[in-house]
Amino acid sequence: MTDSAIAIDLAQTSVRALNERLHRLPADTNERLWRIGNPQGAHAVAAGLTVPIQIEIDGHVGYYCAGMNEQATVTVHGHAGTGLAENIMSGVVRVTGNASQSAAASGRGGLVVIEGDASARCGISMKGVDIVVGGSIGHMSCFMGQAGSLVVCGDAGADLGDSLYEAEIFVAGAVTSLGADCIEKPMTQADVARVADLLARAGIAADAARFRHYGSARQLYHFHVDHAAAY
């Protein structure tokens, strides 16, 4: 950030006051650069943003940081708690450390980058968001994933992609187990190009050709008695 950034110290200003100020910004605001200090694990920091501003958070955040983000670019220089970028609509949310469970849950668009590891249920019920994880992810990630891409440079925990719809999963490391109706699929040249593009956008160096592709077998879209044991 440059010296023109607006500095907010959360040791002196409440999260509510910060968010209210950010929510009042008009679409044509010239207050586009913000630096947030001393978050100290506070919840819902920079949640509900709807304008194309840039926010740098220096330190660890708690639950639901940058939730419902639309257009803004939010970077957490630290770790993030549960529900990072939940229901993100557009924009970019980045964490330089690790993220707890349910990162980018129900995300409908935009890009979420976790440079470290993500815990359980990363990308649960994702609906169009793209997620890139530099490390590994926990169990039940991409559960009921409907659209978008989850790219994992490390390993994946148990039940990956359980009850998957049309979200696509790419993993470079080991997968503990696949969930119901999730299968490995061929890694085409188009898939390699897609992963390479997402890695480039995320600023993470990895060989896209090393990833494996997982998607839906499309057997659970409608109930069928022959598949009853899988539900």
Domain borders along the chain are 6-230
Paired residues of 94 in beta bridges: 75, 113
Tell me if 145 sits within 8 A of 125, measured CB to CB.
yes
CA 147 distance to own-chain centroid: 13
Map tokens 């529900």 to a residue: 83
Which listed CATH number (3.20.20.80, 2.40.30.110, 3.60.20.10, 2.160.20.60) goes with 6-230? 2.160.20.60
Per-residue pLDDT of the chain (231 residues; tens, 9 = 90+): 445 899 999 999 999 999 999 999 999 999 999 999 999 999 999 999 999 999 999 999 999 999 999 999 999 999 999 999 999 999 999 999 999 999 999 999 999 999 999 999 999 999 999 999 999 999 999 999 999 999 999 999 999 999 999 999 999 999 999 999 999 999 999 999 999 999 999 999 999 999 999 999 998 766 666 766 665
C-alpha to C-alpha distances, 177 to 33, 157, 168, 174, nearest whole angstrom:
43, 7, 16, 9
If we measure between CA atoms, which residue out of 126, 125, 153, 155 comes closest to residue 138?
155
Are the beta carbons of 69 and 45 closer than 8 angstroms? no
- The DSSP symbol for 25 reads -
**CA–CA distance, 66 with 46 (Å, rounded to integer):** 5
- Cα dihedral 91, 98, 143, 210 sign: positive
Three-state DSSP at 101 gives coil
Give the full edge-to-edge strand order of the sheet including 33-37.
6-9, 33-37, 54-58, 73-77, 92-95, 111-114, 127-133, 147-152, 168-171, 212-216, 182-185
Q: Residues of 184-205 as b/e, b for ≥16 C-beta within 10 angstroms? A: eeebeeebbebbbebbeebebe
